[in-house]
Each structure stands twice: as C-alpha cells, then as structure tokens.
Amino acid sequence: MNRRFALLAIPALFVLAAAAPPKKAPDKRPVAAKPAPPLGDTVKVALVTELGTIELELDNKRAPITTQNFVRYVDQKKFDGITFYRSLRLAWGDQPNGLIQAGLKSNPLKVLKPIAHEPTSQTGILHKAGTISMARHAPGTATADWSIMLSELPSLDADPKASEPDAQAGFAAFGRVSAGMDVVRRIWDAPISPTKGEGLLKGQMLEPPIRIISARRIADPPAPKPAP
C-alpha cells in the first residue's frame, strides 16, 4: 500500500467505524474446558521428535496407575518440548542393547505428585525390546521420566525372590512402542557427551539431547459401518 492510498483509506475506515453500532462488552465468563476422552484398555500416544515419530500403546488395563499418570502429562502438554537426554549402551549381548530415557528431570514447576509403584510381577508387562517403563529413585517416587528399551532387560523386572528391596520391586513397565522403533534406534545412536552426567550416568548423556516436539493421544479410527 503506497502513502497516497493509505491516506485515502484512513477517513473511509473512520466513517465506517463511527457508523457501526456500539459493540457489546466481551463475555469474560470462563469457558469450560473440554473434557478429555475416556481411557480404554489401551491408550495410543504419538511422540513427535526431531528425528521422527514414535507411537506408543499404553496398557491401561494391566498398569492403570502408571498409564493414567503418563496420559495426564500428555493431556496437559507437559511433555511438549522435553528431550530424550540419555542413551544407555550396554557393550554385551546382541546389539542394540540398552535404553533411551526422556522426561522432565524432576522439574519442580512441572512435575505432578509421585505415583504408586506397579511392579511387573503384578502387571505381567516385562522389559522387552520396545517396552516403555518409568524411571524412579525408590519405589513410589516415579513422576515424569521414563525409558524405552532397545533390548530385553530382565534385570529391570521385579524379582520377589531377590534379597534387595529395590530388585524385588523392579521398574514399572506400562506399554510398548507400536511404531517407530527405527526412530528409537536413531535416538539411541545419536552422539553422546564423554564428560556429562554424574556417577553411573557419566558418558550416557546425549549431546545434544533430542527434542520431543509434541506428545498427543491418537484417536482410534471409527469402527467400519456394517454392510447394508
């Protein structure tokens, strides 16, 4: 728009605005949030990462506490912008052998309350390749950090016969990767820092970390209509 046209347009806009009826005051009443869809026996979630999309199938039937906790973070969009920050690479066994880890890293501004522990001896969901499992300190401290297995890791399963309470409890597995294991492998293979990380985590931290752009539930496709 040149200067001459702009100067001509201003009076016309002014006249139209002056002739218009007075506007009603905006309605400031709060709009009720749309309720989240109910959870079925399984819940599907898509993690869109910088390296591709990972689809998860969470087991709400066998691990309801852990699944519903994960979905709360998804529905509140708390996982948008977090990163996969760790790649555990075990040198023994068939490769790839290990896991990748993501989450809020105990960010006090975003984490929700810790959840009760659901051991694999109760759920029957074992740590196999593609399994998603909660990270934790002691049992009952899990919040918003989790791992995806690259291989079968039975040492993470609950062992009620173990002498140590931590091994008795194991870690809470609650679903599996249904699509995108190639993306999981690319994250696992991404560069790591030789110096970052404390204690046992040193040499396991991704550098740079891999960003999760968004985490959203995936709706099931509508059931086909019966033939006439």
Rg of the chain in Å (alpha carbons): 24
| Topology of the domain covering 42-218 | Cyclophilin (2.40.100)
Dihedral sign from CA coordinates of 174, 178, 181, 183: negative
Confidence check: pLDDT of 2 > 50: no
Q: Which residue has the higher pLDDT, 98 or 110?
A: 98
Check residue 3 and give its pLDDT. 38
Query: To the nearest whole number, what is the mean pLDDT of the chain?
Result: 87
In sequence order, the 6+-apart residues with CB closer than 8 A to the CB of 223 are none
Check residue 9 and give its pLDDT. 37
Q: Which residue has the higher pLDDT, 6 or 224?
A: 224
In sequence order, the 6+-apart residues with CB closer than 8 A to the CB of 108 are none
pTM for the model stands at: 0.82
* Both tokens assigned to 85: 């920050």
Which pLDDT tens digit goes with each residue over 24-39? Answer: 666 566 555 566 778 8
Backbone φ and ψ of 147, nearest 5°: -130, 155
DSSP 157-221: S--TT-SSHHHHH---EEEEEEE-HHHHHHHHHS-B-SS-SSGGGTT-EEEEEEEEEEEEEEPPP
List helix spans (H) across the chain: 3-19, 64-75, 120-123, 165-169, 181-189
Check residue 190 and give its pLDDT. 98
Give the span between the Cα atoms of 161 and 121, in whole angstroms: 11
Which pLDDT tens digit goes with each residue over 141-193? Answer: 999 999 999 999 999 999 999 999 999 999 999 999 999 999 999 999 999 99
- Count, residues in the chain: 228
Cβ atoms of 42 and 61 closer than 8 Å = yes
Check residue 22 and give its pLDDT. 56
Give percent above pLDDT 90 in the chain.
74
Give percent above pLDDT 70 in the chain.
80
Cβ atoms of 39 and 68 closer than 8 Å = yes
Confidence check: pLDDT of 117 > 90: yes
Check residue 73 and give its pLDDT. 98
Which pLDDT tens digit goes with each residue over 28-71? Answer: 665 555 667 788 999 999 999 999 999 999 999 999 999 999 99
Half-sphere exposure of 137 (CA within 13 A, CB side): 5
Provide the total of helices (H) and of strands (E) in the chain, helices listed first: 5, 8
Give the span between the Cα atoms of 19 and 164, in whole angstroms: 81
Q: Which residue has the higher pLDDT, 197 or 104?
A: 104
Per-residue pLDDT, averaged over 108-119, amounts to: 95
